[in-house]
Structure 1
């Protein structure tokens, strides 16, 4: 038995050498050993270790976590490669007052659309997000209607998108369609004039409610500009510009659809400070009680006034050459006014005189007027 095993090992060694070309090189033997390990089922680990990479195979959960699709995105945060891909998206400032405005608009729309359609309509606010204008135009599912409206007081435009489901539902309801049945959609054809007219009427109702929603914050008048079916013709801002997107859901029993309102940030810039408020009437960094107290204390503060009889300009050489008994000549006469200063600030002016046994100044006007008159005279003399 031992002799047979030795013969088999010698034959196997000879076979290895024959397969390696008979040279018995160390590199060839290592390659052959790696091949045998691969044939034995350890090929992946052998190749990975040969390349210097750990040979452990990732499971599906680890792959999803690496790519950022592990499903833990309930808070809106992304991780992994998914976060790197979306790193170009800029996070814009949040406008808390927009939530309050459109919550008010949802309640107003529910009542207005019920009166408009004579049907049971429920309007809900899905979310308010920040998007790039170009990305939004590319994501609009067609067919759809895009209404361009103008905010007159803000001197800029906004965009309202009505998807096909809501269009057909509104048309069906306004033309007397049966209740409880889904609106029939006809794909592959442009919208008719009747459909566009009915949708324009609905848009006017929505814009009127939107004006009422903004009125407590900043009165604005939204006017309908045009209706487009091609997103390319509804461009109101540059593609990279940021915009606020408000998604609304309109439900009519078994029918309904989505309505979206988009405001570029440039449109909202005139009321940006108001939209940053967390509640109506919030004041940033101001305390009226402190302002009143400070004003009261300022009015009762003591200040020291200096009466300036006259001023003249002399060179340092002349001053150094002055001797006792010499006279400095000024241009003031006894009837000219003197200026009262607080520090370096001219305050009041008036003629000088005597009150009892004290020198007094009779206040006639504020010193600013005197300074302005002297400057005007100097400019006139220079001219």
Structure 2
């Protein structure tokens, strides 16, 4: 690999980083007041909801990447925690592939990072290889390799958008791309972010995909999270009722019209002979009950239509209304 000369801006950034670390070391022994009501912190209940949301994202991502790369992958959600942006950047390897994501219609940016341990096996697979025996490479990706990864990022962002769709509509888009985490200063170092760590295994290659969402933006969605995960009891709409009716329309039911009468002993039934008459004690003008799947639902009359027995519906049997029982308070003992 050819040696690359650092620009003056990169050299200044390195010295600035060293100065900041020295300043932090001097203040490490001092107590720093912390306000738990700070606006960029979110509740643990909302953090659990985000964990469940990205658990669904991981399941969809397995099938999407397997179809795209035509290979078997294992994707696991490792952790969802709240960190400062500086702590998140310190956990990332260098060099790596890190992109800034737009979050329209919200103001702010998120971060998506893919380790080099994943990038180069995936690039090999996109170029026709199997990606299983790739040697670990510690170098920056080239512009050509960045173009090859556009399809990969498009699939990841599509599944990420679909996962967040249940809470709110977010249009994730790539705004910038870097290879050094310290150069992507899109948030203040002390600003809180929700860090999502996802492990991806391709053959013998194992790497991490890390996502950071600003906590202040997620805190703004708290009401939408509550609406998503709470159980809401609402009346069904006419369209929903029509849809359910269309689903059950092809179902079959058993109709049974019976002439209810007195019971008869088995012995008397066996002694019946030709010419005997049975008295059912059932008035001719009384309606007959029609059972639907064994339950009384209709009343009507037996008749005929085109030389076939028929049942003429007279009325629908309504279930009895519940009777409210009035109970008085027990008398107090004297």
By how many angstroms is 1:149 displaced? 0.7
**1:161 counterpart residue number:** 113
- Do 1:204 and 1:224's aligned partners in 2 also have CA atoms closer than 8 Å? no
- Aligned residues of 2:72 and 2:202 also touching (Cα < 8 A): yes
Report the aligned-residue RMSD: 2.8
Q: In the TM superposition, what is the alpha-carbon distance from 1:238 to its structure 2 partner? A: 0.7
Q: 1:185 aligns with which of 124, 133, 136?
A: 136
Counterpart secondary structure, 2:67: helix
Which residue number in structure 1 is paired with residue 229 of structure 2? 280
Separation in structure 1 between the aligned mates of residue 61 and residue 42 of structure 2, nearest angstrom: 28
Query: CA-to-partner distance for each residue in 1:107-152, whole Å, 9 max, x for gaps?
Result: 1101110111111112110010110001211231111111111110
| Partners of 2:32 and 2:228 in 1: CA distance | 32
SS in 1 for 2:51: helix
* Distance in 2 (alpha carbons) for counterparts of 1:119 and 1:111: 10
Q: How far off its partner does 1:266 sit? A: 2.1
> Are 2:205 and 1:255 equivalent residues in the alignment?
yes
Quote the Cα distance in structure 2 between the aligned partners of 1:178 and 1:228: 27
Distance 1:200 1:85 in 2: 46
Match of 1:194 in 2: 144
* Partner SS for 1:178: coil
4+ runs deviating over 6 angstroms = 84-91
Structure 1: unaligned runs, 5 residues or longer: 1-83, 290-383
CA change 1:86–1:254 in 2 (3 A) is farther
How far is 1:256 from its partner?
3.2
| Cα pair distance change 1:174/1:88, threshold 3 Å | farther
Using the alignment, how far apart are the partners of 2:122 and 2:50 within structure 1? 27
Match of 2:190 in 1: 240
| Contact 2:117-2:137 at 8 Å conserved across structures | no
Equivalents in 2 of 1:114, 1:221: separation in Å?
24
1:14 alignment counterpart? none
The CA distance in 2 between the partners of 1:149 and 1:93, in whole Å, is: 24
Aligned length: 200
TM-score (norm 1): 0.48
Q: More relative contact order in 1 or in 2 (CA 8 Å, sep 6+)? A: 2
Determine whether 1:223 maps to 2:173: yes
- Provide the C-alpha distance between the structure 2 equivalents of 1:89 and 1:174, rounded to a whole number of angstroms: 49
Q: Distance in 1 between matches of 2:205 and 2:148?
A: 17
Structure with the larger helix share: 1
Partner Cα distance (1:179, 1:230) in 2: 24
Larger radius of gyration: 1
Distance (whole Å) between structure 2 residues aligned to residue 288 and residue 186 of structure 1: 56
After superposition, give the CA deviation of every residue in 1:168-203 in whole Å (9 maximum; x if it has no partner).
12112111223542x22333x431122212233211
Contact 2:42 2:219 in 1 (8 A): no
Structure 2 unaligned blocks of 5 or more:
1-29, 236-334
Q: Give the match's secondary structure for 2:98.
A: strand
- Which residues of 2 match residues 12-27 of structure 1 at below 5 A? none
**What is aligned with 1:203?**
153
Distance change >3 Å, CA 281–CA 140, structure 1 → 2? same
Distance 2:54 2:95 in 1: 26
| Partner residue, 1:265 | 215
Q: Report the CA distance between 1:278 and its aligned residue.
A: 9.5
For residues 71-220 of structure 1, the aligned pairs below 5 Å read 93-94=43-44, 95=46, 96-178=48-130, 180-181=132-133, 183-187=134-138, 189-220=139-170
Give the distance between the partners of 1:105 and 1:195, measured in 2 at CA.
Answer: 25
Q: CA deviation at 1:280?
A: 1.9
